[in-house]
Chain A
Amino acid sequence: MFSADAVEVAVNQGLAGPLGRGALLVGVIASAFGAVASIYAARESSHHDEARTARLIPRFAALVLFAAFAAITAMEYAMITRDFSLQYVQDHGSRSTPALYNFTAVWSALEGSILLWVLALALSCAAVVWRYRKKLNDPLIAWAMAVMFIVLAFFFLLSFAPANPFGVGAPGVTDGPGPNPLLQNHILVLFHPPILYLGYVGFTIPFAFAIAALITGRVGEGWLIETRRWTLCAWGLLTFGIILGGWWSYEVLGWSGVWAWDPVENASFLPWLTGTAYIHSVLVQERRGMLRVWNLSLLLATFSLTILGTFLTRSGVLNSVHAFSESDIGKYLIVFFGVIVAVSLWLIAWRGDSLRSPGSIDSPVSREGAFLANNVLFALFAFVVLLGTVFPLVIEALQNRQIVVGEPFFDQLSKPIGIAMLAMMSIAPVLPWRKASEEVLRQRLFWPAWCGIGTLVVSLLVGADGLAPLLAFTLGGFASGAALRQLVLATRRQGLRGLVGRANGGMVVHLGVILIAVALAASNSYTRSQELSLKLNTPAEFGGHVFELKGFENEKTDRLTAVKAIVQIDGGKSYAPAITKFVQMGNNIGTPSVKSSWRYDLYLTLEPPVKSESGEARIKVFIKPLVMWMWIGGGMMAVGTLLALFPGRRRRPTDAVSAHIDSGKTLNA
């Protein structure tokens, strides 16, 4: 695409580096000044109504956004024009990498990924400034902006100094190895990291507001409703990013799974768990004005976990196939983590008690009670995942030996927790606020319960067995019934508007979660696999399907040599699992080929050694039930989140919110 000569001659050689670094420096300075201006504005406006410094904030935010864009554009430019004067391009660029993967190579390694992080942060900051542009002299907003600018300053500094992507490389280098081979064969590399980062980084906004609320002492309904929307947005993006990651693993890695409890995966899961807890318990705050300090703590914890996650994946302390190469930045990140947690805990200790809400919850059997139980479950799950992830470090510190904590631990513990969550999802949506009477519960849960029993019967009829998956299916049916009931009632009352709004969008999300849970249970418990030794044009049978090796295809480019086995399934379409050897990397990557359908996926991999001359190939066939439903469930979660972001039916404050209670019985238990 670009001839070597053209690159040599181009004037741009070497320009991207200084421009990019300069942009980063501008970013550092602009965010530092933005922070100072915001703090000043926050303090000034407690004395006066007008804060002139507040007017500077949008300018600094714009400057920061410009700097972030400029930096990543410079990096992309260097990558696209194969500017090998930069060390980063020497390490991760290549003349033979196709354009798409060259573009994404920018975030394929540590330094570049921080640029992406900075861009996401700058966008979030600009979004907040834009949203509250008329209220910047409100101390709450100003303090929140201060926090955002401080976080921005840290990450700009990180990118400017220890993780500098614009460092100059050795002279005279004319080609590089390109990004990791696993990042070069699927288009999801273009979507998963940016979406994941937007979600991850998006949690900075509610964190900033939480800190601001603690500092100003204003935890009333105003900031709450605002941050709830931002958090839902970030949460939705994080959810979608994680699901895309699972899909990408499935399509590319060859072991036919979607989640391996790898430390980097867990690092993205932890803030998701606390974020989900927050989304639920904040509803109690909206309804009853309670749990204010707890909700603040959840937001502080979520952000801290994102920083912890970044530390774990970039410091090299944990063994992970996903981890970026080690570098120095571990110590900066851990110090930042320490500062964040220390500040958060100190603010809670100082202010928490004076901000706690009066009031109480009448009965544990109520929606409030259910949300509290939900929080306990999610907190427990987060604890388990964190424990399993850092346990090797604990053992190494105590006994100086290395262990690996893997799927057996996480699977064994996440199953009961998952089942408990499905059970909660079955009951909570029908629980009224304040107090539920037994009759109301029985009446509302009747049809959902029959949905559950029906699902159980159907599962047994198709041959499912095993307590855990059957429980998952039963409760999945039960919970779907509860969610559908809510949706049906809402649409009956309001037509299509019944699909919009927090509760209804939330039910759609629940349905998505249930689909994913059921699909996971099915594919984890009932995957069957078999290795087949195929000879040319000789069919072999497995699992009710016929596989026939039709031939081989060889591909040889500068970048790779690949051997593909063309396998025809059931005399119809052909699928081509492959083994690819990337020349620059020296190792073989197996690429699976997948035939999807509603009931199960047929997942084919090619096993080495391949004897194409003698017309033999060993393929492994996996039959994976219900995998497609995972992606459908993921899509539903995304749709549900969008629906939930829309404002729903406006409640009149005088509307009754509790269920009808028979007179004659007291309100108190």
Chain B
Amino acid sequence: MRNSRIARNVAIATSVVVLAFFVLLVTAKPRGERGISTPLLGNPAPAVSSPVVGGGNFDLARRKGSWVVLNFFNSTCVPCRAEHPQLVAFEKNQSTQDNGVELVTVVNDDSDAAVAAFFEKNGGDWPKVTDPDGAIAVAFGVAKVPETWVIDPSGFVRLRIAGEVTNDFLSAKMAELQRELAAP
């Protein structure tokens, strides 16, 4: 009969579409591999100009020429506290290198006094930028702490990490990013 092949033909046509779909799904990159996505990636970092705990001012724009790692921190958040020793180690590591990375903490939804007290007790001698109305957090789009942002010497955002980091992980990522920038 003329119409006795319909099922077969429809099945074949469907297979072609499903195959294309399958390829699409298999080649899709999981989110993790690209770091947490942000439209700021590869774009100039938002302006950060704010007083520092203990006096002075921090201006991200004047940091051009060196890599800056921004760590959003809150003294009551347990993962932030857990991460802290790793950051201390990271900073120590970087300070022994030339062209070391600058580590800067941004206070997130916390009192400056509490942060100062925490750093006093647990070490960490780098600038702690205040953010009283949360403008910096909003500009970067930080919803949850801890978050770590890496900004390159030209002021562009290179990486955003949500959650705790370790010294090893961060150092490795920094090395990778620095290599990428150096090589054309």
Contacts and interface: CB of A to CB of B under 8 A. Distances in A.
A583 B76 contact: yes
A183 to B, nearest CB: 16
B12 A587 contact: no
A349 B7 contact: yes
Contacts of A348: 7-8, 10-11
B7 A315 contact: no
B145 A586 contact: yes
Contacts of A353: 4-8
Nearest to A349: B11
Given A316-B31, A345-B18, A584 B7 contact: no
A390 B24 contact: yes
B83 to A, nearest CB: 11
Interface stretch (A193-201, A223-231, A393-401): A393-401
Interface string A346-373: 1011111101100000000000000000
B7 A352 contact: yes
A334 interface: yes
Contact of B22 (A177, A338, A351, A587): A338
Residue from the set A177, A345, A394, A397 with the largest chain B CB neighbour count within 10 Å: A345
Interface in A381-425: 390, 393-394, 396-397, 402
Contacts of B80: 586
Nearest to A350: B8
Given A353-B7, A356-B7, A334 B26 contact: yes
Given A177-B78, A353-B7, A397-B24, A330 B18 contact: no
B25 A311 contact: yes
Contacts of B143: 587
Interface residues of B, number: 33
A397 B10 CA distance: 27
Contacts of A177: 78
Contacts of B12: 345, 349
Contacts of B77: 583, 585-586
Contacts of A393: 24-25, 28
Contact of B32 (A311, A326, A337, A402): A326
B78 A402 contact: no
B21 to A, nearest CB: 8
A293 B11 CA distance: 11
Contact of A586 (B11, B31, B144): B144
Interface string B1-23: 00011111011101100100110
Contacts of B26: 331, 334
Contacts of A457: none
A379 interface: no
B27 interface: yes
Given A326-B32, A348-B7, A586 B74 contact: yes
A338 to B, nearest CB: 5
B140 to A, nearest CB: 15
B78 A586 contact: yes
Nearest to A315: B30
Contacts of B8: 348-350, 352-353
A396 B34 CA distance: 13
A311 B22 CA distance: 12
A346 B7 CA distance: 10
Nearest to A386: B21
A330 B78 contact: no
Contacts of B85: none
Contacts of A330: 30
Contacts of A396: 28-29
B105 to A, nearest CB: 15
Nearest to A351: B7
A260 interface: no
Contacts of B24: 390, 393-394, 397
Interface in B148-184: none
A338 B30 CA distance: 18
Interface in A574-596: 581, 583-587
Nearest to B39: A402
Contacts of A585: 77, 79, 144
A317 B78 contact: no
A319 interface: yes
B169 to A, nearest CB: 16
Contacts of B28: 317, 393, 396-397
B95 interface: no
A628 interface: no
A352 B9 CA distance: 10
A341 interface: yes
Contacts of B30: 315-317, 326, 330
A583 B78 contact: yes
A547 B27 CA distance: 54
A541 B11 CA distance: 62
B111 interface: no
A650 to B, nearest CB: 34
A578 B158 CA distance: 37
A1 to B, nearest CB: 21
Interface in B87-108: none
A627 to B, nearest CB: 27
A266 to B, nearest CB: 15
Contacts of B32: 316, 326
Contacts of A341: 18, 22
Contacts of B76: 581, 583
A397 B27 contact: yes
B37 interface: yes
Contacts of A349: 7-8, 11-12
A316 B146 CA distance: 21
Interface in A490-509: none
Contacts of A350: 8
Contact of B15 (A311, A317, A345, A390): A345
Contacts of A351: 7
A348 B22 CA distance: 19
Nearest to B32: A326
Contacts of A317: 25, 28-31
Contacts of A584: 78-79
Nearest to A311: B25
Given A319-B31, A345-B14, A348-B11, A586 B79 contact: yes
Most chain A C-beta atoms within 10 Å of own C-beta, residue among B24, B25, B77: B25
Contacts of A355: 7
Interface in B51-88: 74, 76-80
B25 to A, nearest CB: 6
A403 to B, nearest CB: 11
A182 B60 CA distance: 36
A530 B18 CA distance: 47
A19 to B, nearest CB: 31
Nearest to B143: A587
26 contacts: A311-B25, A317-B29, A317-B31, A326-B30, A334-B22, A334-B25, A338-B22, A342-B15, A345-B18, A349-B7, A349-B8, A349-B12, A352-B8, A353-B4, A353-B7, A353-B8, A355-B7, A356-B4, A390-B25, A393-B24, A583-B78, A584-B78, A585-B79, A585-B144, A586-B78, A586-B145
Interface of A: 177, 293, 311, 315-317, 319, 326, 330-331, 334, 337-338, 341-342, 345-346, 348-353, 355-356, 390, 393-394, 396-397, 402, 581, 583-587
Complex A-B, nearest 5 residue pairs according to Cβ-Cβ distance, in ascending order: A352-B7, A586-B77, A349-B11, A316-B30, A317-B28
Given A326-B32, A393-B28, 12 more contacts: A317-B30, A331-B26, A334-B25, A341-B18, A353-B5, A353-B6, A353-B7, A356-B4, A586-B80, A586-B144, A587-B144, A587-B145
